[in-house]
Amino acid sequence: MMSIFEELESEVRSYSRGWPVVFDRAQGSYLYDEDGKAYLDFFAGAGALNYGHNNPALKRALIDYIARDGVTHALDMFTVAKRDFLQTFQEKILQPRDLDYKVVFPGPGGANAVEAALKLARKVTGKESVINFTNAFHGMTLGALSVTGNSMKRGGAGVPLVHATPMPYDNYFDGSIPDFLYFEKLLEDSGSGLNEPAAVIVEGVQGEGGINAARIEWLKALDDLCKKHGILLILDDVQMGCGRTGPFFSFEDAGIKPDIVCLSKSIGGYGIPMALTLIRPDLDVWEPGEHNGTFRGISPAFVTATEALRVYWSDDELEKSTKAKGERIAAAFQGIVEAYPDANLFAKGRGLARGIEFANGDLAGKVCAAAFERGLLMETSGPDGEVMKVLPPLTLTDDELTKGLSIIDEAVAAVLN
Amino acid sequence: MMSIFEELESEVRSYSRGWPVVFDRAQGSYLYDEDGKAYLDFFAGAGALNYGHNNPALKRALIDYIARDGVTHALDMFTVAKRDFLQTFQEKILQPRDLDYKVVFPGPGGANAVEAALKLARKVTGKESVINFTNAFHGMTLGALSVTGNSMKRGGAGVPLVHATPMPYDNYFDGSIPDFLYFEKLLEDSGSGLNEPAAVIVEGVQGEGGINAARIEWLKALDDLCKKHGILLILDDVQMGCGRTGPFFSFEDAGIKPDIVCLSKSIGGYGIPMALTLIRPDLDVWEPGEHNGTFRGISPAFVTATEALRVYWSDDELEKSTKAKGERIAAAFQGIVEAYPDANLFAKGRGLARGIEFANGDLAGKVCAAAFERGLLMETSGPDGEVMKVLPPLTLTDDELTKGLSIIDEAVAAVLN
Amino acid sequence: MMSIFEELESEVRSYSRGWPVVFDRAQGSYLYDEDGKAYLDFFAGAGALNYGHNNPALKRALIDYIARDGVTHALDMFTVAKRDFLQTFQEKILQPRDLDYKVVFPGPGGANAVEAALKLARKVTGKESVINFTNAFHGMTLGALSVTGNSMKRGGAGVPLVHATPMPYDNYFDGSIPDFLYFEKLLEDSGSGLNEPAAVIVEGVQGEGGINAARIEWLKALDDLCKKHGILLILDDVQMGCGRTGPFFSFEDAGIKPDIVCLSKSIGGYGIPMALTLIRPDLDVWEPGEHNGTFRGISPAFVTATEALRVYWSDDELEKSTKAKGERIAAAFQGIVEAYPDANLFAKGRGLARGIEFANGDLAGKVCAAAFERGLLMETSGPDGEVMKVLPPLTLTDDELTKGLSIIDEAVAAVLN
Amino acid sequence: MMSIFEELESEVRSYSRGWPVVFDRAQGSYLYDEDGKAYLDFFAGAGALNYGHNNPALKRALIDYIARDGVTHALDMFTVAKRDFLQTFQEKILQPRDLDYKVVFPGPGGANAVEAALKLARKVTGKESVINFTNAFHGMTLGALSVTGNSMKRGGAGVPLVHATPMPYDNYFDGSIPDFLYFEKLLEDSGSGLNEPAAVIVEGVQGEGGINAARIEWLKALDDLCKKHGILLILDDVQMGCGRTGPFFSFEDAGIKPDIVCLSKSIGGYGIPMALTLIRPDLDVWEPGEHNGTFRGISPAFVTATEALRVYWSDDELEKSTKAKGERIAAAFQGIVEAYPDANLFAKGRGLARGIEFANGDLAGKVCAAAFERGLLMETSGPDGEVMKVLPPLTLTDDELTKGLSIIDEAVAAVLN
């Protein structure tokens, strides 16, 4: 029953290679294949399903909206659904955090949010060059790809990727080199040959890059550096925003206010495409229609997005629970690390973005395969796939967490013993 | 009640400027604002709503799927919903047309389909350069924008847009110059300075560019030219596919089989983001994951897409009705042209993509505004917005069409008299 | 005695392949190989030796200067030799032609003059894009190469050549298409996708491109077009300046005053490297040292340049004689064309830049080889080397011309009969 | 008598601003202005006059050649003068050093040598990206400029300079960071985002960058790194070759054999333009004529180049004397450094490329001005012009050196006291 995929779908497909079953239904932390087998999902749509699959509260709002023939597709027209979303976003997210942003609806996905951010930063500053970081991941469209690190994905561009210079992300040299030593020297030396950058683009925690969590003080220092040199700071919170690390934004604990913030994945709440680019009001120099697109006003996503904000971001319960569960995973992973002292494992992450770095991608891949056999979905990340990564729904129960950790224990044991 | 938009939404918003009401519900050919006022929609989501707003058949399938907790978001995992779509797409679309393509799910929107097409064409050929056409529109991400014509939108890139050379689209010189004269000469002259192109990207009918319909024989000749010179032909059918011009693909009547086809907008059927890049099987040289993205497996869109194919593409009724209604509009528009002999109007288009070219964008804009006042939504296109453009749902009734044409008559009269 | 070349010199060498002798001495219109065999030189250093080899008047000035220890190398310091040159250039060239330019010494060769011109045009306008013409040749450095047409030479760049769009040179379509039809339409259509150009770069007669002489009215119209659209006009007179077409500048007869003019090759008079970029005074926005280089003040070249201006440009004798000799060649070539009606020959050129186009590069190459055997040096040009090209010293005698034409007659006959 | 310069010469001129006199004659280590005032030249044509002005031995050969009507200009034809040069270069330079290179004549100047090197490296490897170093200087044409560090000069390009990434040159962090730490990590991390480089381009001693002398072991390690990663090593010896640092090539003491070497400036010996690109024989993949140019066969430069090799490179006297004089300067400069302990001076350099770094460019500029008043020519370098730089002729006498050092002493004292 999988022959149609092999026959018709391009070889570019990837997740289906590690999980060769056909999924049918999903609820909460579980996916079910067409034979009814349940899989505990510690991948959660690569961070797009922070509130779990088919979250009942959001599902109710969604079905109601569809049933009453609410507008589905509205480009950038004014709609009741968009108004509700904007009001709720302002009330639940921006105002309580004392953040002052205007909202761009840049298109349906995270890459659109990044493309809009880069375009605006360049337009505002009149400069072309952007600083990205080692092992960054920002998307697959040409602009987003040019600031992405992975060499295989870059190779897919088919044109030289220019206008970006990579700088070492936090801890790239294991703390042996002062932060930003190289970056700052190049900026200050008028003979360095570094093109003066319009912007820096950074993730609070690098998910695809290997669950690398930048320290709070590193983010703060980056913000200072940008301010000092008149460089715009773009925070790509596509994967790590919407509570993945605990607070709504991954950068909140650093106390910084980036000039531009990219959101997507879980902002829609239910897995329907939606993206936002938040911009400092004084940067709002677009001409009407200068950036546009067909899928900027998908009302069903606005409806579930709004409901998610109301349900989960009216108080700090989700943030606290995310941090607490994150600590449980951290402790469990540290236990694994210590249980295999010769394996050179390393526990990483923040909030509910966690990982264990293995000696190589082969080992990490085998652990994920062993977990899949035991009914747990998780993926690798990092330049060589050497990091076993978990991104469970923030809404998973303690029991589900216990069960997942226990499968991980078994899977690691099966591979390393 | 619109202050939140002004306060919070970026100045880049555009459609809401011409239609300053807040839409709430929609059904078939109508949108309703929050006060219940009905608007006959001759814009149809810029071509994303070929089957009308909240089409009842699709709505039923969609609610059923959501209600039964079908997987919503699945990246590129195998799902029952994707399998159904692939099988139906093969059965209803590819096989009957004797088309042999593999399917890439490139991301949620049309620009993703275009970016994937360009990346693949460059990877396969090892060449960077692409030929686009005057007044082309392919999207707002950096790769898609580089092959788009509009200078205001290009200016938004903030970096020089390179690797593309524009050639004259069909009828660019009103028939006074042999087709492809310049293009072919540059290709054949090894001293021309034209970078050898990997691909040509073309729309069967240019929607945003001004409802410019390429002649069948021009498309055929373009295909011949590409074959002769070993250039890949990318047909961007994002707006004109899914029956907009009559047949499912806008290029069918030309009898050509492009190497790569981009679909989005109406492929999902209900307005939920979805996109496809169809590629000649031997071009499928991607590495697994070389192009990826979060929103490539939105099952609700697969469900409505599948239902739309079943309902509308099991026979040729829709195609016939689209052509017939298109002819009605053509006749009506020709009547308008002839009624104002001094106004230098020009009727354009094919199928249900139709337009009237005015002397300038100011006049066309005023006609659209007059139509809006009378309860009809339509937009301008063309480099200076000089074309009044209609893209009604293919499912509109004859009465709705009559009503719409009558409003257009009044609107034109109000402006030109 | 040629083994050292084969052993040590790169395969990139080219002229030596067609003329496999070792040259030793030269005088006037003749080169002599080491065995004393004389070759009548109808190539003249590809236009660098308009006053012949080792012109006695210039030679005297040169030896005197060297003998008295005049400064040889002076970067951009003030020198007596440079002052003499500037004064003489102003007096003999600029003032009589009512031309108001400032002089940049851009480096030793023509490519430097072109690179400086492009840099300045982009700096002044803030735009990156440049329009070049089919079959243009402007040099081999990256900037100059990007506006050069030849695909083999472009391929040598190793990076995509961007920021330039080729337009059809005069007569590219044999007069069947109105001049600038395509260029002007693209400029006027804001949706054309043409990047707004900083400048147009053009040769008055294309030498390497195949001895294509632009008509006076075409140059005039190009100048008008540039003025109308605020585009800077760069006239590359590296090969066709210094009297090659009759007047000192190839554009004089068109009555235009380009914004920037590039000179090199024969400006030094004796074959020692020298180049000038002439710029409209209000374009002189360089910072001191913003463009620099080691070989910008080669005084021996200034000395011979000055002497050449004094000897040959104090009256219009050289211009008249060049035109007259040019007409002799034109008539002779037309005779050849008519003598071989089936060969599809075509006589081309202006002044003493003349050529015969053959059906293909093979034939033209054979004619040059046959001429070489008979003691005449001439080369091919054009995209496929299909043009037999003559660029004799402007100072050649009537007898030398007679002899050269007679050898050409024989060579053509040997190949075509 | 200087008004013609102000009237006619572009504002881009620079050296003449610090030395506002008109030079006329020159001999050995001295330049003379038109009033007969002598200036001891510690600048030597920015390294183009290693054998002094109008060196008598070379002058004799030059005048003889001109007088006997030796071919002056010969493109890339075979000539007796070129053969003599190639044989002598092989015998005096390549063979004794066990170096195996083929010779490209890339055009008249150093930028041509660099452009040819970059083109070839990209063609051979099929990669576009090049690694350059902080404060590198390689020339002003677009390709060479893209690997040059100075931001003012880069700004002159008018297009974004891409395809190059700067890495820290030796001692960029004062020895606090292990050599190549960052470079090597980026190369080894497939997720770093560094485009895989075709080549590294480096100067043995950075002249324009501030007389930064790379340590022997750093050059060795760079060579190892390149070999390990399959990156071509381009050694730009345009300024530091031809004996400037002691040995003929600046890299000899490191015992490395770069893949490509660029020579110009003093290779011609007398200040007449000439340049070479030396390439590993197996890299000689050019098509005939794929890189060409008018001024590649300037025989007078071949004649003086050949004579210079014979006179100065038949034994190791010049090398020894250069090192000895270099040590004298080093000692003298160290004395100055120590004499002004509060001024934070720093003595730099190798061989006869020496400098003193001042606290800022203003001070260094004042010292040069004070020296000029005292009859000594020297210039500043470094990103802010903070280095007082001396590049005297290698042939200067001990007395001249004594005199120069004494003027420098006075000039420093005049500024710092």
What is the CA angle D291-D292-D294, rounded to 5?
A: 160
Count the residues in chain D: 417
Mutate to test the interface with A, among B58, B77, B270 (most CBs of A within 10 A): B77
What's the rounded Cα separation, in Å, for the pair B8 and C6? 73
pLDDT tens, B26-37?
A: 999 999 999 999
CB contact under 8 A, C191 and B149: yes
Sequence-ordered list of residues with C-beta below 8 angstroms from that of B393, at least 6 positions apart, any chain? B28, B29, B41, B44, B49, B50, B51, B52, B53
With beta carbons less than 8 A apart as the criterion, state whether B212 and B170 touch. Answer: yes
Q: Is A53 helix (H, G, I), strand (E, B) or coil?
A: strand
Q: Which amino acid is located at B143 in the chain?
A: G
pLDDT tens, A116-160?
A: 999 999 999 999 999 999 999 999 999 999 999 999 999 999 999
Name the token pair of C79: 């020198």
Largest distance between two CA atoms of chain A: 64
State residue C409's pLDDT score: 98
Task: Identify the residue whose tokens are 């939504």.
Answer: B377
Mutate to test the interface with D, among C6, C13, C17 (most CBs of D within 10 A): C13
With beta carbons less than 8 A apart as the criterion, state whether C258 and C234 touch. Answer: yes
CB contact under 8 A, A193 and D383: no
What's the rounded Cα separation, in Å, for the pair C217 and C215? 5
* Chain C residues lying within 8 Å of D142, measured CB to CB: 115, 118-119, 141-144, 146
DSSP code for C178:
-
- When CB atoms are compared, the residue of B132, B173, B192 closest to C181 is B173
Q: Give whole-number Cα distances, B380 to B19, B134, C172, in Å.
A: 13, 18, 37
Return the percent helix, strand and coil in chain A, to nearest 5. Answer: 40, 20, 40
Choose among D415, D412, D360: nearest CA to D383. D360
Name the token pair of D415: 């500024």
Average pLDDT score over residue span D68-77: 97
- Domains plus CATH for chain A? 4-55+319-416 (3.90.1150.10), 59-313 (3.40.640.10)
DSSP code for B92:
I
Residue by residue, DSSP assigns A345-413 as -EEEEETTEEEEE-SSHHHHHHHHHHHHHTTEE-EEESTTS-EEEE---TT--HHHHHHHHHHHHHHHH
Choose among C248, C246, C254: nearest CA to C219. C254
* pLDDT-based confidence at residue D283 (cuts at 50, 70, 90): very high
- When CB atoms are compared, the residue of D45, D103, D294 closest to C109 is D294
CB contact under 8 A, B162 and C164: no
State residue C218's pLDDT score: 98
What is the CA angle C31-C36-C42, rounded to 5?
A: 20
What's the rounded Cα separation, in Å, for the pair B87 and D327? 82
Name the token pair of B46: 């810029």
CB contact under 8 A, A9 and B105: yes
Average pLDDT score over residue span C336-365: 98
Strand (E) positions, D148-307? 164-167, 197-202, 205-206, 212-213, 232-236, 260-263, 276-279
> Strands C129-133 and C164-167, how do they pair?
parallel
Sequence-ordered list of residues with C-beta below 8 angstroms from that of D412, at least 6 positions apart, any chain? D336, D340, D356, D367, D370
State residue A13's pLDDT score: 95
Average pLDDT score over residue span D321-346: 98
State residue C1's pLDDT score: 64
With 70 as the cut, is the pLDDT of residue B90 above it? Answer: yes
For D150, nearest residue in chain C (alpha carbons): C290
For C58, nearest residue in chain D (alpha carbons): D66
* Chain A residues lying within 8 Å of B283, measured CB to CB: none
What's the rounded Cα separation, in Å, for the pair D8 and D107? 27
What's the rounded Cα separation, in Å, for the pair B32 and B22? 9
CB contact under 8 A, D128 and C159: yes
Q: Where are the alpha helices (DSSP H) in A90-141?
A: 110-125
DSSP code for D267:
G
CA of C4 to nearest chain D CA: how many angstroms apart? 7
Mutate to test the interface with C, among D72, D104, D150 (most CBs of C within 10 A): D72
- When CB atoms are compared, the residue of B161, B190, B382 closest to C384 is B190
Mutate to test the interface with B, among A159, A236, A287 (most CBs of B within 10 A): A159
Choose among D79, B182, D342: nearest CA to C182. B182
CB contact under 8 A, C143 and D139: no
ipTM comes to 0.98
CB contact under 8 A, B159 and D159: no
Q: Which amino acid is located at A97 in the chain?
A: R
Give all chains having 3 or more CB-to-CB distances under 8 Å with chain B.
A, C, D
Neighbouring CB atoms inside 10 A of D73's CB total 28
With beta carbons less than 8 A apart as the criterion, state whether C5 and D86 touch. Answer: yes
For D196, nearest residue in chain A (alpha carbons): A151
Chains A & C: contacts with CB separation below 8 Å: 3
Chain C positions touching chain A (beta carbons under 8 Å): 159-160
What is the CA angle D131-D136-D138, rounded to 5?
A: 90
With 80 as the cut, is the pLDDT of residue D2 above it? Answer: no
Give all chains having 3 or more CB-to-CB distances under 8 Å with chain D.
A, B, C
With 90 as the cut, is the pLDDT of residue D393 above it? Answer: yes
CB contact under 8 A, B74 and A23: yes
* Chain C residues lying within 8 Å of D157, measured CB to CB: 119, 122
Give all chains having 3 or more CB-to-CB distances under 8 Å with chain C.
A, B, D
State residue B1's pLDDT score: 64
The pTM of the whole model exceeds 0.90: yes
* Chain B residues lying within 8 Å of A78, measured CB to CB: 2, 5, 16, 19-23
State residue A118's pLDDT score: 98
pLDDT tens, A243-263?
A: 999 999 999 999 999 999 999
CB contact under 8 A, B4 and A291: no
CB contact under 8 A, D158 and C290: no
Q: Give whole-number Cα distances, D280 to C360, D124, D290, in Å.
A: 36, 11, 18
* pLDDT-based confidence at residue C2 (cuts at 50, 70, 90): confident
* pLDDT-based confidence at residue C377 (cuts at 50, 70, 90): very high
What's the rounded Cα separation, in Å, for the pair B381 and B404? 19
> Strands B38-41 and B376-377, how do they pair?
parallel
What's the rounded Cα separation, in Å, for the pair D288 and C32? 24
- Residues facing residue C27 across a β-bridge: C30
Q: Give whole-number Cα distances, D398 to D317, D321, D324, D392, in Å.
A: 14, 10, 10, 12
CA of B323 to nearest chain A CA: how many angstroms apart? 25
With beta carbons less than 8 A apart as the criterion, state whether A22 and B86 touch. Answer: no
For C137, nearest residue in chain D (alpha carbons): D293
* pLDDT-based confidence at residue A1 (cuts at 50, 70, 90): low
What's the rounded Cα separation, in Å, for the pair C308 and C303? 9
With beta carbons less than 8 A apart as the criterion, state whether C108 and C295 touch. Answer: yes
Average pLDDT score over residue span D258-275: 98
Choose among B239, B220, B122, B128: nearest CA to B170. B220
* pLDDT-based confidence at residue D1 (cuts at 50, 70, 90): low
State residue B302's pLDDT score: 98
Name the token pair of D38: 């002598």
CB contact under 8 A, A185 and D168: yes
What is the CA angle B92-B93-B95, rounded to 5?
A: 85
* pLDDT-based confidence at residue B2 (cuts at 50, 70, 90): confident
Average pLDDT score over residue span A283-291: 96
> Strands A197-202 and A164-167, how do they pair?
unpaired
Residue by residue, DSSP assigns C27-84 as EBTEEEETT--EEEESSHHHHT-TT-BT-HHHHHHHHHHHHTTB--B-TT--BHHHHH
* pLDDT-based confidence at residue B238 (cuts at 50, 70, 90): very high
CB contact under 8 A, B9 and A105: yes
Chains C & D: contacts with CB separation below 8 Å: 384
For B41, nearest residue in chain A (alpha carbons): A74
Task: Identify the residue whose tokens are 């494992």.
Answer: A345
Average pLDDT score over residue span A321-337: 98
Name the token pair of B64: 């059923």
With beta carbons less than 8 A apart as the criterion, state whether C192 and B152 touch. Answer: no
